[in-house]
Homo-oligomer: A and B are copies of this chain.
Amino acid sequence: MSTPDVHISEVGPRDGLQSVKATMPTADKCRWIDALAAAGLREIEVGSFVPARLLPQMADVAEVVRHAVTLPGLTVMALVPNRRGAEAALAAGVHKLTLPVSASEAHSLANVRKTREQMVAELREVVALRNEVAPGVPVEVGLSTAFGCTLQGLVPEDEVIALAVACVDAGVDEVGLSDTTGMANPAQVRRLFTRLRAELGERAGAAHMHNTRGLGLANCLAAYDVGVRAFDSSLGGLGGCPYAPGASGNVVTEDLVFMFEAMGVSTGVDIGQLIAAREPLQAGLPGEPVYGMTPEAGLPKGWPL
């Protein structure tokens, strides 16, 4: 199997489920992950290792990880907010850790009750743990609110880049940029990812875009144009900002795959099987809205083009 031109990391089971109210049964989560992997997705963020009392949806995360790691060829990723979470994730057998670090100081305090500096210190501890118990497991950071913050407004680009460098200095393998609030625009995406790649080289990570104001795919295209080849997205656009009716949060995996495949950029994903993976998602979360224009419109006549 040849390497796809772009790497799509599915974040629905973590980022998506984290923002829905109903708890999805463990068996449904596993069936959904099976379907995502069967569609050709090679990396899935399957959950967060956070205290169950804070996020009951993730109470079964270790069990979900133990199932996901049995799927051949799949990189199983989990979000961990700190060393304690990383310990549990590594014990469950994850292949990759991701940590949320806020580019905005205001968001950092609101989200993890730590300053950015304190989060970088936390990163160092997670890296030290990883070096000790699981040296082969990459640690990745997504810089949230990198394109703007609903609490403080603009986030200076110099601060974003300086924080990315600080994360790499702390021993992180990869730093991506997240448009947590749906404020990014294509010109800004090109500027920031160009700078990130110039500063971090191979350690520059994924574009994690939201579709809050409809610019999700345009921003992914802008990132692709300046050399980004890794993208986060969520099946059915699950997650993000459910406060705005119809305004899906994360970029919809189905539409992202459609865009790239239509452009002749291979994703390794079978779009028919990907659309079929909406069934276990909807079965496990009855009544939860799912988004996506491509599944609604269907594939164009003559597909693949």
Contact = CB atoms under 8 A, between A and B. Distances in A.
Interface string A264-278: 110000000000000
Contacts of A79: none
A294 to B, nearest CB: 5
Contacts of A241: 297
A51 interface: no
A221 to B, nearest CB: 5
A133 interface: no
Copies in the complex: 2
Q: Say whether chain A's binding surface is mostly helix, strand, loop, or mixed.
A: loop
Contacts of A214: 217, 252, 255, 258-259, 292-294
A225 to B, nearest CB: 8
Interface stretch (A15-23, A40-48, A91-99, A149-157): A149-157
Nearest to A241: B297
Nearest to A291: B246
Interface residues of A, number: 49
Nearest to A298: B244
A221 B217 CA distance: 10
Interface in A134-157: 148-154
A302 B263 contact: no
A102 interface: no
A113 interface: no
Interface in A201-249: 211-215, 217-218, 220-222, 225, 241, 244-247
A186 interface: yes
A90 B262 CA distance: 41
B153 A301 contact: yes
B263 A185 contact: yes
Contacts of A181: 300
A1 interface: no
A296 interface: yes
B213 A305 contact: no
Contacts of A296: 244-247
Given A217-B214, A217-B217, A222-B221, A300 B148 contact: yes
6 contacts: A148-B302, A150-B300, A186-B259, A188-B262, A241-B297, A245-B296
